[in-house]
Amino acid sequence: MAIAYISHSDCLLHDMGLHPEQPARLNAINDRIIASGLDMALRQYDAPLVDRELLNVVHEPMYVDRIHSMAPEDGTVWVDGDTAMNKHTLQAALRAAGAVQLGVELVMKGDAVQVFCGVRPPGHHAEQNKAMGFCFFNNVAVGAYHALNNYHLKRVAIVDFDVHHGNGTEDIVSGDDRILFCSTFQHPFYPGTGHESTASNVVNAPLPEGAGSMPFREAIDLYWLPRLQAFEPELILISAGFDAHQADDMAGLNLVDADYAWVTRRLCEQAERSAQGRIVSSLEGGYNLHALARSVEAHIKAFMGDY
CATH code: domain of residue 163: 3.40.800.20
From 14, 124, 125, 187, active-site residue:
125
pLDDT given at position 206: 98
Q: Which domain holds residue 33?
A: 3-303
Q: Is 276 left (phi over 0), alpha (psi -120 to 50) or beta?
A: left
Cis peptide before 121 (omega within 30 of 0): yes
Query: Rounded to 5 degrees, what are φ and ψ at 77?
Result: -120, 125
Give the separation between CA 29 and CA 25, rounded to whole angstroms. 6
Q: What is the sign of the dihedral through the CA atoms of 145, 146, 147 and 151?
A: positive
Cis peptide before 188 (omega within 30 of 0): yes
68 noted as active-site residue: no
82-118 tens-digit pLDDT: 999 999 999 999 999 999 999 999 999 999 999 999 9
Total domains in the fold of the chain: 1
215-235 tens-digit pLDDT: 999 999 999 999 999 999 999
Q: Give the 3-state secondary structure percentages of the chain, helix then strand then coil, rounded to 5.
A: 40, 20, 40
pLDDT given at position 306: 76
Is residue 264 within 8 A of residue 303, CB to CB? The reply is yes
pLDDT given at position 200: 98
Categorize the per-residue pLDDT at 307 as very low, low, confident or very high, splitting at 50, 70 and 90: low
108-166 tens-digit pLDDT: 999 999 999 999 999 999 999 999 999 999 999 999 999 999 999 999 999 999 999 99
For the chain, the maximum distance between any two Cα atoms, rounded to a whole number of angstroms, is: 50
164-193 tens-digit pLDDT: 999 999 999 999 999 999 999 999 999 999
Global pTM?
0.98
pLDDT given at position 131: 98
